A and B are shown apart, each in its own frame.
Chain A
Amino acid sequence: MNTPIAYFLVVSAALFTIGTVGVLVRKNALVIFMSVELQLNAVNLALVAFSRMHGNLTGQVLAFFSMVVAAAEVVVGLAIIVAIYRRRASANVDDVNLLKW
């Protein structure tokens, strides 16, 4: 019943790495977005795991905050992606490069 904390952390780290690689290598804005969500959830997992280890609720409360913020961020982010797609008929982040030297 008492799963060691390391297991959770390994899963969390794996999820985070997958998310990071996804952000870095994919071109589609939606996929990048999903990867970001993956990173966030990896952190949430770690938070909840630590919360259990310490026997208090602080980590779980923080995870809830994180979820709420993520939800809000999705609303704004998706709206931007949709707006860009409507304008350029593309969700490729490499096409959105106006702000450069």
Chain B
Amino acid sequence: MLKWVWLVPVLSLAGAAINLFAGKKLGRRAGWLASALMVAAFGIALTVLNDLAKLPGNERTFILHLYDWVTVGSFRVAVDLRVDPLSVTMMLVVTGVGALIHVYSIGYMEHDPRRGRFFAFMNLFAFFMLMLVLAENFLILYLGWEGVGLCSYLLIGFWFERTIAANAAKKAFVTTRIGDTFMLIGVVLVFLRLGSLDFAKVLSQGVSSSQPSGVFTVIALLLLAGAIGKSAQVPLHVWLPDAMEGPTPVSALIHAATMVTAGVYLVARTHVFFEISGVALTVVLIVGLVTAVYAATAALGQDDFKRVLAYSTISQLGFMFFALGLKAYAAAIFLLVTHSFYKALMFLSAGSVMHALDDETDMKKMGGLIRVMPITGTVFSLGALALAGVPPLAGFFSKDQVIAAANHGGDQLAWVVALVAAFFSALYIMRMIFLTFAGRPRWQGHPYESPPVMLVPLILLAVGAVAGGLLGLSAVTGKLPAFLAPVLGEVHQPTRGMSETGLSLISVIVALLGVGGAWLVYGSGRIDWVALRVRSAGLQRFLQGGWYVDDVYSTVLVAPGKAGSAVLAYVFDAGFIDGAVNAVGRLFRALASVGRRVQTGLVRNYALAFLFGVVAIFVYVGFRL
């Protein structure tokens, strides 16, 4: 079955094509078609996994050559798919979680007249994401990378009639493009310095030792810039909270489970570069840690519950980058997988709540929803507890491994900061639970539980969020770390730092402290959180505005940019460029007003000119002879 892996992206592409051209005619069936294709892709992905697992550990890399794409001199790019433990893991996440989100969307988008379009974009996204993770060379990866960016843009701005959504889409596109540009330079540099774009050649140790390590630092940092943009890390994170303007399944699929993890995948895939460089690895660590703490605090100040989840995603991605920086690649991918379960689950549950409350997203107007939406409330809480790191849910194992890696990595400061971020994670997510599902109802209208087509995916994702930890019970011997070892390197038993049990205990205590803190303020009723909000309005605004990063960007970057553009557009372009063009035009008009007198309209004048011409030619030829 390994050579049938091409079917996985092609099925999604077929779905996109059919829905794009016939989506209107298909009507309600558009969603079922898109979902069926995703489920089929997931099935094929599973058989691919099965076949791959049959091979011995060190032979688990299969490269499927489809066709040659570009052949110019020594520059050769083939459309090759790489099947190895890392890409298969990503492929399973994309198709598996993707399929569930597609099914959920059938219910969520039921009343939208542009269903066909929606599912076409969703399938197209899945195609590009699959190309990204299955790519065997940097160019195909870049193709997928830009493709998912495009689909993200199209889907954030899906309800483009709303200016705010259209602007959010633009912001996401432009912000990620900043990173993408650096990444493209990095890709070019890879080719110039290493002579190839194929992972098989470039990532092998032989090629790597042929260049000074500074080259790899530059390449790694350029690739990292792309990853920072795509994965919404500080300082290019500003687009993700705004991206919540898209339909909620989009937030779940693109802005939680898959696309934003592309940066993590990229760094994990090219970890060889980062390791040779060393410096780049430290940068990854710092970026991840700063993002994890920053976004966790910002999430605490949000009122819009989708924005809480957005900042939470940024924070969790920060944890993944942090793990990458610690060389705990398997832990990062493990967190990526479990995060895709519980974050997709929470986004979809949030979508159900929005459905029930007529698109209300303000948590101040919720509360007590568990009584009207028992299933949604339960699965959401499971996801939240998983995120908070409460054992034995999936998030506990994955986050614990990241934090343990920090301790074993030797830098105790990073470990403490990571614990602080974990504490805030538990705090903000439980705050969200208490404000939304617990307490006294503050909503109006008639909320209702979602239909089965939306509940079944939620329940399946909840199973993942609860049992996902089984994939990696231990950082050293767990199933997923062991499976990924051929690509990401063996995980060794730590030689220093605390024991795993002790670290787990500390993690659990921190998580429970967060949960308890949230309960004390928002759940127990002993503290009036509304009054607390008013008293600390400054802090509240600071956190809600995401530490005012957006405002700083608007003042420092956007405003001068706009002013500069205005000068270029209205002064330089209108005066100088257009002036030069117009001056050329005026010059020729002036010349023509004299020259056009030659055209008298009298046939005999023309004939005479003709005669002179002929005579002149004869004279010339005569003298030549």
B220 CB, min distance to chain A CBs, angstroms = 69
Chain A residues near B598: list those with CB within 8 A.
101
A1-44 interface bits toward B, Cβ cutoff 8 Å, 1 = contact, 0 = none: 00000000000000000001001110100001000000000000
B34-77 interface bits toward A, Cβ cutoff 8 Å, 1 = contact, 0 = none: 00000000000000000000000000000000000000000000
The 3 closest A-B pairs by CB, nearest first: A100-B601, A97-B601, A101-B596
**Can you list 21 A-B contacts (CB < 8 A)?**
A20-B611, A23-B604, A23-B607, A24-B604, A24-B608, A24-B611, A25-B604, A32-B603, A93-B602, A93-B604, A94-B604, A96-B601, A96-B603, A99-B599, A100-B601, A100-B602, A101-B597, A101-B598, A101-B599, A101-B600, A101-B601
Interfacial residues, chain B to chain A (CB-CB below 8 A): 596-604, 607-608, 611
User: How far, in whole Å, are A99 and B596 apart by their CA atoms in the complex?
Assistant: 11
Interfacial residues, chain A to chain B (CB-CB below 8 A): 20, 23-25, 27, 32, 93-94, 96-101
Q: Which residue of B lies closest to A32 (CB)?
A: B603
B334 CB, min distance to chain A CBs, angstroms = 82
Q: Which residue of B lies closest to A20 (CB)?
A: B611
Chain B residues near A99: list those with CB within 8 A.
599, 601
Chain B residues near A20: list those with CB within 8 A.
611
Q: Which residue of A lies closest to B600 (CB)?
A: A100
Chain B residues near A98: list those with CB within 8 A.
601
Q: Which residue of B lies closest to A94 (CB)?
A: B602
Chain B residues near A23: list those with CB within 8 A.
604, 607
Determine which residue in B597, B599, B604, B611 has the highest number of CB atoms from chain A within 10 A of its CB, and name it: B604
Determine which residue in B599, B602, B603, B611 has the highest number of CB atoms from chain A within 10 A of its CB, and name it: B603
Determine which residue in A23, A25, A93, A101 has the highest number of CB atoms from chain B within 10 A of its CB, and name it: A101
Question: In the complex the two chains form, is A97's CB within 8 Å of B611's CB?
Answer: no
Question: In the complex the two chains form, is B596's CB within 8 Å of A24's CB?
Answer: no
Contact of A93 among B597, B603, B611 (CB under 8 A): B603
| Given A101-B596, A101-B597, residue A24 in contact with residue B602 (CB < 8 A) | no
Q: Which residue of A lies closest to B604 (CB)?
A: A24
Chain A residues near B597: list those with CB within 8 A.
101
B55 CB, min distance to chain A CBs, angstroms = 80
B594 CB, min distance to chain A CBs, angstroms = 10
Determine which residue in B596, B607, B611 has the highest number of CB atoms from chain A within 10 A of its CB, and name it: B607
Question: In the complex the two chains form, is A97's CB within 8 Å of B602's CB?
Answer: yes
A94 CB, min distance to chain B CBs, angstroms = 6
